[in-house]
């Protein structure tokens, strides 16, 4: 009976973590293979399109974690502001726990590859749109005025917070971003 391999998933998760911490270009195939423990042949078997194909899969996998953060922040919230503050806190906690090393898993790839790779740019756009749609759906459920505008503003603020928080080695930019969106 053939043995089931988890090499594909292991490669995706290793690449996602490495792209998030080191960036796309600083993460070479050998580092991904070393981190994942997967043999080189399995990389080419699972990702015949190479590193870009792996990056698309890693972005998809990484986006699920942020979607979970969004749902966990907004589902118990009594209003949009409470959900936004909970999301900002959750992201700040995660980022701070990583030593301000693990930035946005999508932006870390997008900033280094666009406009050169349309596949990666379109994947990033798809993920960002899913996150915004999810925040908007929670905003509508919570009867928030201007749900789409607020969802987009929150996402833009949090993306900027990741960059400034990394530069400052501080969680405060997440608090500022959320307060700005909430008009406080």
Q: What is the CATH number of the domain that holds 101?
A: 1.10.357.10
Cα torsion 29, 34, 35, 36 to 10°: value is: 90
Tens-place pLDDT, residues 1-52: 455 569 999 999 999 999 999 999 999 999 999 999 998 889 999 999 999 9
Total domains in the chain come to: 1
Residue 72 domain-assigned (yes or no)? yes
Residue 47 domain-assigned (yes or no)? yes
Tens-place pLDDT, residues 134-177: 999 999 999 999 999 999 999 999 999 999 999 999 999 999 99
Residue 149 domain-assigned (yes or no)? yes
Residue 105: predicted pLDDT: 86
CB neighbour class for 111 (10 Å; exposed up to 12, middle 13-18, buried from 19): middle
Residue 111 domain-assigned (yes or no)? yes
Residue 1 domain-assigned (yes or no)? no
User: What b-and-e string marks burial along 7-44, b requiring 16 or more CB atoms within 10 Å of the CB?
Assistant: bbebbbbbbbbbbbbeebeebebeebbebbebeeebbe
Q: Which long-range contacts (CB under 8 A, 24 or more apart) does 142-151 make?
A: 142/74, 142/77, 142/78, 142/79, 142/80, 142/83, 144/79, 144/80, 147/80, 150/80, 150/84, 150/181
- Running DSSP on this structure, what letter comes out for residue 3? P
Nearest to 131 by CA among 53, 39, 66: 66
Domain that holds residue 52: 7-181
Tens-place pLDDT, residues 87-134: 999 999 999 999 999 888 899 999 999 888 899 999 999 999 999 999
What is the pTM assigned to this prediction? 0.91
Residue 2 domain-assigned (yes or no)? no
């Amino acid at each position: 009976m053939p043995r089931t391999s988890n090499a594909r998933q292991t490669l995706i998760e290793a690449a996602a973590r490495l792209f998030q911490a080191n960036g796309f270009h600083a993460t070479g195939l050998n580092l991904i293979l070393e981190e994942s423990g997967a043999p080189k042949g399995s990389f080419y078997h699972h990702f015949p399109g190479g590193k870009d194909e792996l990056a698309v899969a890693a972005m998809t996998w990484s986006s699920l974690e942020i979607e979970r953060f969004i749902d966990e922040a907004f589902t118990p919230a009594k209003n949009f502001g409470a959900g936004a503050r909970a999301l900002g806190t959750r992201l700040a906690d995660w980022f701070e726990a990583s030593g301000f090393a693990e930035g946005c898993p999508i932006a870390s790839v997008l900033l280094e590859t666009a406009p050169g790779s349309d596949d990666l740019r379109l994947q990033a756009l798809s993920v960002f749109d899913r996150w915004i749609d999810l925040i908007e759906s929670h905003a509508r459920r919570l009867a928030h005025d201007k749900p789409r505008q607020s969802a987009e503003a929150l996402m833009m603020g949090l993306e900027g917070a990741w960059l400034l928080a990394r530069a400052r080695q501080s969680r405060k930019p997440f608090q500022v971003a959320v307060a700005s969106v909430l008009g406080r």
